[in-house]
Structures are given as structure tokens and as C-alpha cells.
Amino acid sequence: MNSDENNNQNMIKTIGNYTLCNTLLGKGSFGKVLLSYDNNKKLCATKIMPSSQVGPENKKHLLNEVNIVSKIKHKNIIKLYYCTKTKNTFYLMLEYANRGDIATYIKNYRQKYKSTLPEDKIQFIIKQVVEGIHYMHDHDIIHRDIKLNNIFLHDIN
């Protein structure tokens, strides 16, 4: 089987200019996140939330979050590229963080190296987090759910 055939089997659907793959990146209380890519083959993360999982009050919060995130432009905050809703599902196409969340990164690091993260890596991560939070606070935005599982890493050594 050639790589094009393999890629086609990995694709599950197209939403706008984005192709969703059958690669699960994460799962949460409202849905799941799949690996996807745009027409230029740039990797993205697509958050998929069935409408049935998003009640009226949560729908209000979701639309508010989309409105806020679509305006944020900072190197340390995941970008929202596109969002849409079909009859039964909300889709958010987001910047892909190739190292996953901090909780998983720490767990994998401990397993691989049998030690905790070195202080210089911790300082680097904290600096990026603080810069992102500072930007949000400067724009009167409060995150409300800062935790290791909600902070994503990209290109850390």
C-alpha cells in the first residue's frame, strides 16, 4: 500500500478546508480532539463536540470562548483557525501543539529518563505560561481552567 492510500484510510471527513484524521489527540468532557490538516497540509487539532453534549448554558460559554479566542494573537496561546457547526456537531480547528499537554509531557519524561524535569525546562515552560496569562490579563481575559492538562507544548527540547 502506498502512502497516499494509507493517508486516505486515515482520513475520516472534510470540514471546510480541513481534513480530519482518525488520530485521537485527546478526549474531554464535551468531546474529543482529532489530528487534522488544512488544504496546505499544515497540521491542526480539531476539537469535536456533539451538540447533544453541549447544553444551552455550555453552548453560551462555548460561543463566548470562540469569540474571545478568535481575537487573541499571542505566540504562547493556541490559535483558533476556524470554527463551524453542522446540524449535530461543533468543530474548532486549532493550532497543533506537537508535544501535547504538560501533564503527559512530564509523565513521559519521568518514564523515559527516570527523573523529574530539569529546572531549566521548568523555567522555560513557566516563562511561556506566564507570558500568555499576562497577555490575557492585559486584555481583560481570565482563563478559569488553568491546569497541566490544558497547557500545551510545541517544539520544546
Which residues are identified as catalytic?
145
d(CA 150, CA 144): 11
State the Cα–Cα distance between residues 44 and 42, nearest whole angstrom.
6
* Phi, psi angle pair for 138, to nearest 5°: -65, -25
DSSP, collapsed to helix, strand or coil, labels residue 108 as helix
How distant, in Å, are the alpha carbons of 30, 69, 89, 93, 97 from that of 59? 11, 15, 11, 17, 25
Q: Give CA–CA dist 51/87, Å, rounded.
A: 8
